[in-house]
Amino acid sequence: MARHGGGRGWYGKVVGAALGVTMLAVGASVWTAQADSVGVGATPGPSASATPGNDTKPVDAGIVHASDAGPRGVNITIDDGPDPAWTPQVLDLLEEYGAKATFCMTGVQAEAHPDLVKDVVAAGHRLCDHSVSHDTAMDKKSEAYQSKEILDAERMITEASGGVRPMYYRAPGGAFTPYSRRLAASHGMRPLGWNVDTKDFERPGTEAIVTTVQRELANGPTILFHDAGGDRTQTVEALRQVLPWLKEQGHTFGFPVR
Ligand SMILES: [Zn+2]
């Protein structure tokens, strides 16, 4: 499975700048990425206000990074699964620390492991469409191809979950296009970016993954991990340290703004 490209973490700043948002300097530890929620609508509110995964209303096509859990909220995002070796371990840790996460699944993996998709939903986590086949060059291909990758995955994930729809779309490797963002948004899937790429996919060592989170969290609240695509022992061990650390720092776990 293709690796995620580096250097995507600046999305948040670029998007914020493009929106012309004035960021408030309220202390170095408080994120300004909340600005991403501009334009979402008048009723962002807590996630409980809508039935997760049953809402097909069009959403904003801008790439979101902000958390619905307030200024100390973080969004744990888990990509490329589900995988029977790793997803259950990740789910156990999330439960242990009372954390909710967003799982960006490929259509292929969801179709192969529908029980895991249902486990994710039953635990209160959210689903995200991560394309059918994880083609990180899909932004260079036709709109017909992009549409098939996104909408087939939407269908495969929804069938695997037993009817709960993905609420976000994250392009593999961040290979969004204006077309793919609009298409996903028109199906109720908010384009989802990230602020902290833990680089866990490259297996840099557990400590390196933990340190990356601690160092880069000031960039914004959405953190990228993986639960498939190879040996994810380091990811699991890193989460075992990162989740309690986040709680000690006063963070709360939320979902990306929709
Ligand atoms: Zn991925």
pLDDT digits (tens, 9 = 90+) for 28-37: 334 443 334 3
pLDDT at 52: 59
- Where residue 56 falls among pLDDT bands split at 50, 70, 90? confident
Indicate the average pLDDT of the chain: 86
Treating both helix axes as pointing N-terminal to C-terminal, what angle do 143-161 and 114-122 enclose, rounded to 10 degrees?
A: 70
CA distances from 28 to 76, 212, 237 (A): 21, 17, 28
- Render 122-182 in DSSP notation, one character per residue: HTT-EEEE--SS--TTGGGS-HHHHHHHHHHHHHHHHHHHTSPPP-EE--GGG---HHHHH
Whether the predicted model's global pTM rises above the 0.75 cut: yes
Of 60, 68, 79, 83, the active-site residue reads: 79
**Mean pLDDT computed over 129-155:** 98
- CA of 29 relative to ligand 1 center, distance in Å: 28
Assess whether pLDDT exceeds 70 at residue 153.
yes
CATH of 73-253, one of 3.30.70.1230, 3.20.20.370, 3.40.50.970, 3.30.1330.90: 3.20.20.370
Which of the two residues, 53 and 201, has the higher pLDDT score?
A: 201
- Known catalytic residue at 113: no
- CA of 149 relative to ligand 1 center, distance in Å: 13
pLDDT at 51: 56
Bridge partners for 169 per DSSP? 129, 191
- CA of 1 relative to ligand 1 center, distance in Å: 8
Strands 222-226 and 168-169: unpaired
**Mean pLDDT computed over 190-211:** 98
Which of the two residues, 56 and 212, has the higher pLDDT score?
A: 212
Assess whether pLDDT exceeds 70 at residue 38.
no
- CA of 80 relative to ligand 1 center, distance in Å: 5
Tell me the C-alpha distance between 190 and 257, whole Å.
Answer: 8
Assess whether pLDDT exceeds 50 at residue 57.
yes
- Known catalytic residue at 125: no
